Structure 1
Amino acid sequence: MQDTHGEEQVLTVGIEEKLSVGANMTYGLQHLLALTGIFLFPVLIGQALKLDSSVIGYMIQACFLTTGLVTVLQSGRMLKLPVVQGPTAAFFVAVLSAGASVGLGTAFGSMAVAGVIFMLLAIPIRRFGLIGYVNKFISPPIVYGTLLIIIGAQLASIGLKNWFGSADIGINFIASLVTVLCVLVCMVVGGGTILRRGALLWGILVGTVFYSIFGTTDFSAVSSASWFSLPSLFPFGFGVSIPIVILMLLAFLQASAEAVGMYTLLTKWGKQKLSNDRVNRGLFGEFLGCTLGAIFGGLGTTSYPENIGIVRVSGIGSRYVTMTAGILAIVLGLIPKVGMFIASLPGPVLSAASTILFGIIAISGVQMVSKVVWDELNLVVAGASFIISLGTMYLPAELTAKLPLAIQSVVTQPMLVGVVLLIGLNTIVNMWLRPSLERRAQREPLLPEVTTTEVL
């Protein structure tokens, strides 16, 4: 999605306009096709943690449920904007890291605790909501854009190396190439159609068909899965770890910055006001949904940039369309066959699609920071945060092993180090130091001009 902070767009279908049931279903399904994180993130976590396909399938169901619940809340009574939620890279990284160190039960239990904390900070009752008032600290393009670049660079180590799989390397690599080429072709020639918006999904489908013909796929688990089941409470067990809670709090902070950026765009396009109270309502709904999702075992979500792009291109900004998308996501989350089918897709094909997705995340950050005026102060903020954050990936293992778990969980994650550094440095340099320097420059007397005659 291109950065459109400086653009103004008049929606052809306004935020409060209602369409027919058929139109709502059609446009709502179009939004769901862009939610690639639902298809990719749970599978990548399962591959990394060596989870059984039934566990991965359930996690996919839980992600659909989380997505649907928050989308209905946001499009309905809470935010009242055409926002579609989806699993975000911040929670993907946090759950992947926590799951590897303390298990999924403690990862999701700690996410639920962190969600409750953020719900209390955003409680939409008069002046009690605090998150809306700290928006200026977390939403500037230099903070959010640089963070997306850091996340994309961190995730680069996940996709490409899994193209080859553990066996039958030749067909795995060729299927990965077919997937990537299909995605790229759809993105380049798809224009403003559903071909481009669902490019990653079409690439996965084509890659899977290719792999089924020339390789070996096994969808037998799909036939044995049931057609309907309700979610379980804490299906992976329950545990709470203070270091992991801190990890999840930082992920919620990143998601907050992303969400407020999307709210700003949508209210501008719909010619509506974005007050602190409305921000608090939106974030409270988001945190409530993410907390429920964590209880069910699903990844936390945030406002999906791809869906904002669909609104921008199509001009259809009706919140009843996105509410329909949320209802469809809830229905899919109640069908185990859907989750098991996605969990059975070839690993190399999903890894190839994730490579493109992670690249899009990074370049979206580049687009955002292109609007920043790169003077010395901004270079200090972004440059120091970027290089130090990525440098944490190369800290010696013997050093990090000696650190307390609370510190170890943060300093080994570039995304989390980036959140702390970017918010801290931007606050100090741009909000405190810059105004002081500008006032000092205004007070300094100008030196008298020296003419050529005076010199001679």
Structure 2
Amino acid sequence: MKQRKAALDVNEVPAMNKWLVLSLQHLFAMFGATILVPFLTGLPPSVALVSSGFGTLAYLLITRGKVPAYLGSSFAFIAPIIEVSQSSGVAGAMVGSFLAGLVYGVVALLISMFGTKWLMALLPPIVVGPVIIVIGLGLASTAVDMAMYLPGQEENIYSGKHLMVALVTLAITIIASIYFKGFFALLPILFGIIGGYVFALTQGIVDTSGIQEEWTAITSAGSFMGVLAAIFQMPEFVVPFVDFSPLEVVSWEIAFLMVPFALVTITEHTGDQMVLSKVVGKNFLKEPGLDKSILGDGVATFIASCLGGPPNTTYGENIGVLAITRVFSVFVIGGAAVIAIIFGFIGMVTAIIGSIPTAVMGGVSILLFGIIASSGLRMLIDNQIDFGEKRNLIIASVILVIGVGGAFVQVTEEVQIAGMALAAIVGILLNLVLPGKEKGYGNGRMFEEPAVEEDEKNNQVA
């Protein structure tokens, strides 16, 4: 089967009359998921957009403009950010993100020195798959609570109206996922949020006061400069050594809660790079190299931690856009990043995002978190993990029960290793200790370099 020729290759510059539209495609593909993460964690969506844009630009620079990938908010860090924020505030979450970024740097250095076999030994599919399942299932109660209960109450108060809005949102998202075709099939989250928002307006549960305030400020401005001042606003950045002292916040507890998830997202990043290589027809694991792309991912997370945004990661939605449109240009990806940064400074955008009811986000989250758990199951299936082997059954079972059950280890009076972090650590240790390590690899395809030579030949075909 011949691969279609690229509409725009990686280093091709699009025509000016098409550049904006092509970049907006990528922005819309990641928009729904990227604003959902800060919405759930209590971080400002405007900061998430800005850090996503700057992180993507840094990634493109570090990979020398050879990898057309957009980076958005990482779902894997939702639970640890919430947990750390409750105990150490936003500053603690940012310190944790910074430490996770350090792990990316260390892993990138080790890969450049020793290759990827050691990473495969540390994180085979039998460990990573169940951990991803735990990440999704661990967030399930958050999605259900948002869908069922009145927001902002000290005690959970059931609301049939909010549940109905959540279910309508979920239904729209599912319909968009199943029945929409082409580029629109990549935007089910965005369609779900928009459709749920419109339905929520009919139910009277949308607070539009913030939007009205922004509109009043714009229309009442007496001059052109006044209008610009009303439209553009500074996001609520949280900057280290300005808003807080990292050395006073950092602790072993934060490290144990945040750092293990970096290993999972690094493995997911590797999978994304393999898929992207097959889509584009270039082996990105060799050129510019997995070490460069992981380093770029880590720097993007560094940037987010210095601005007050959630950690960044490569986005599957944007890979889908590449596959459908065949537009591989890094200039288009860079354009999307610049637009995201601009959107982060527009007060009306922030006000609209802030007015989205929790029930709408809850409805979308029911599907999204389930998909995260299912993707872990898919990893086990794709790698043909044999659960007839007791070793595999034991590792997966222990990870699932510890992670979903909320087990924890009290290391000191202040330091606690809990839930998903503990599950990941225990899974890694079990895999290293139990005999028969080769059985946890399955067919070993997770870190197998993608065969793109034939694709490269096909790209020569008109």
Task: Tell me the residue number matched to 1:34.
Answer: 29
Whole-Å separation in 1 of the counterparts to 2:101 and 2:306: 10
The one-letter amino acid of 2:384's match is V
Equivalent runs, 1:71-86 vs 2, <5 Å: 71-78=56-63, 80-86=66-72
Tell me the percent identity: 24
Task: Tell me the residue number matched to 1:87.
Answer: 73
More displaced, 296-305 or 321-330? 321-330
Check if 1:178 corresponds to 2:168. Answer: yes
Task: Tell me the residue number matched to 1:213.
Answer: 202
Task: Tell me the residue number matched to 1:300.
Answer: 311
Q: For residue 295 of structure 1, give the secondary structure of its aligned residue in structure 2.
A: helix
Contact 1:228 1:334 in 2 (8 A): yes
RMSD: 3.2
Contact 1:110 1:245 in 2 (8 A): yes
Check if 1:63 corresponds to 2:57. Answer: no
Task: Tell me the residue number matched to 1:156.
Answer: 140
Whole-Å separation in 2 of the counterparts to 1:177 and 1:92: 22
Whole-Å separation in 1 of the counterparts to 2:117 and 2:55: 22
Whole-Å separation in 2 of the counterparts to 1:184 and 1:152: 18
1:226-246 deviations in Å (ceiling 9; x for gaps): 523264514863421222123
Q: Which of residues 408, 422, 446 in structure 2 aligns to 1:417? A: 422
Contact 2:70 2:315 in 1 (8 A): yes
Quickly say closer, same or farther: Cα 1:417–1:395, change in 2 above 3 A. Answer: closer
Task: Tell me the residue number matched to 1:246.
Answer: 256
Q: Which of residues 6, 16, 34 in structure 2 aligns to 1:12? A: 6
Quickly say closer, same or farther: Cα 1:11–1:237, change in 2 above 3 A. Answer: farther
The one-letter amino acid of 1:419's match is A
Q: For residue 25 of structure 1, give the secondary structure of its aligned residue in structure 2.
A: helix
Task: Tell me the residue number matched to 2:459.
Answer: none
Contact 1:148 1:364 in 2 (8 A): yes
The one-letter amino acid of 1:214's match is Q
Contact 1:31 1:307 in 2 (8 A): yes
Whole-Å separation in 2 of the counterparts to 1:320 and 1:111: 28
The one-letter amino acid of 1:18's match is V
Whole-Å separation in 2 of the counterparts to 1:406 and 1:264: 41
Task: Tell me the residue number matched to 2:337.
Answer: 326
Q: For residue 337 of structure 1, give the secondary structure of its aligned residue in structure 2.
A: helix
TM-score, normalising length: structure 2: 0.78
More displaced, 306-315 or 340-349? 306-315
Quickly say closer, same or farther: Cα 1:189–1:97, change in 2 above 3 A. Answer: same
TM-score, normalising length: structure 1: 0.79
The one-letter amino acid of 1:420's match is I
Quickly say closer, same or farther: Cα 1:381–1:277, change in 2 above 3 A. Answer: farther
The one-letter amino acid of 1:16's match is N
Q: For residue 381 of structure 1, give the secondary structure of its aligned residue in structure 2.
A: helix
Whole-Å separation in 1 of the counterparts to 2:6 and 2:51: 29
1:303-356 deviations in Å (ceiling 9; x for gaps): 112222222233332222222221211212222432232122111111111111
Quickly say closer, same or farther: Cα 1:373–1:213, change in 2 above 3 A. Answer: closer
Q: For residue 404 of structure 1, give the secondary structure of its aligned residue in structure 2.
A: coil
Whole-Å separation in 2 of the counterparts to 1:100 and 1:135: 32
1:145-187 deviations in Å (ceiling 9; x for gaps): 3332221111111112321222681321221121111111111
The one-letter amino acid of 1:96's match is I
Contact 1:122 1:132 in 2 (8 A): no
More displaced, 298-307 or 17-26? 17-26
Whole-Å separation in 2 of the counterparts to 1:279 and 1:163: 39
Q: For residue 322 of structure 1, give the secondary structure of its aligned residue in structure 2.
A: helix
Q: In the comparison of the two structures, how many residue pairs are matched?
A: 409
Check if 1:291 corresponds to 2:291. Answer: no
Contact 1:133 1:276 in 2 (8 A): no
Contact 1:76 1:319 in 2 (8 A): no
Q: Which of residues 233, 248, 262 in structure 1 aligns to 2:272? A: 262
Task: Tell me the residue number matched to 2:395.
Answer: 384
Task: Tell me the residue number matched to 2:234.
Answer: 229
Whole-Å separation in 1 of the counterparts to 2:2 and 2:375: 19
Whole-Å separation in 2 of the counterparts to 1:382 and 1:84: 36
1:393-449 deviations in Å (ceiling 9; x for gaps): 4357xxx585536762x3x222x23433444444556885669xxxxxxxxxxxxxx
Contact 2:402 2:419 in 1 (8 A): no
Whole-Å separation in 1 of the counterparts to 2:68 and 2:123: 20
Whole-Å separation in 1 of the counterparts to 2:433 and 2:26: 39
Q: For residue 256 of structure 1, give the secondary structure of its aligned residue in structure 2.
A: helix
Check if 1:100 corresponds to 2:92. Answer: no
Q: Which of residues 359, 362, 365 in structure 2 aligns to 1:351? A: 362
Contact 1:386 1:418 in 2 (8 A): no
Quickly say closer, same or farther: Cα 1:86–1:131, change in 2 above 3 A. Answer: farther
Contact 2:53 2:340 in 1 (8 A): yes
Contact 2:143 2:366 in 1 (8 A): yes
Quickly say closer, same or farther: Cα 1:107–1:149, change in 2 above 3 A. Answer: same
1:357-414 deviations in Å (ceiling 9; x for gaps): 1112122222222222333586633652344343344357xxx585536762x3x222
Whole-Å separation in 2 of the counterparts to 1:314 and 1:138: 36
Task: Tell me the residue number matched to 1:197.
Answer: 186
* Bigger radius of gyration: 1
Task: Tell me the residue number matched to 2:96.
Answer: 110
Contact 1:12 1:316 in 2 (8 A): yes
Q: For residue 104 of structure 1, give the secondary structure of its aligned residue in structure 2.
A: helix
Q: For residue 193 of structure 1, give the secondary structure of its aligned residue in structure 2.
A: helix
Quickly say closer, same or farther: Cα 1:120–1:152, change in 2 above 3 A. Answer: closer
1:130-149 deviations in Å (ceiling 9; x for gaps): 78664434665444433322
- Gaps of at least 5 residues in structure 2 are 151-156, 215-229, 441-462
1:207 deviates by 1.3
Q: For residue 302 of structure 1, give the secondary structure of its aligned residue in structure 2.
A: strand
Whole-Å separation in 1 of the counterparts to 2:21 and 2:123: 33
Q: For residue 310 of structure 1, give the secondary structure of its aligned residue in structure 2.
A: helix
